[in-house]
Structure 1
Amino acid sequence: MDYDRVLVLEQGRVVEFDSPINLITNPTSRFRDMVEKSGEVDALFEMAARAY
């Protein structure tokens, strides 16, 4: 969450490229889906918001 941009690949293709805060707040984002599956949604969202 401390990075300027996140690149999400799927089967070797770019599917998302944006700031962590934009991706984590987008309900259709694959990045957000990965964050939700990690079980650390609240902590990671807070980190992204602080970095923004």
Structure 2
Amino acid sequence: MKHSKCETKKSEKSNEDNEYKIFLKVLQKAEKVAKGHEKLLKAIGEL
């Protein structure tokens, strides 16, 4: 019984890690998009 409990905890942890990595990727993409928007807004402001 103890062994199976360990296994489920391990898989839960790897799932959390994967979700965290996905979250970081989304965050990085959002940052790039935000920087792109900043450049656009500055360009529009300079027109």
Length-normalised TM-score, structure 2: 0.29
The structure whose residues are more often strand, as a share, is 1
Larger radius of gyration: 2
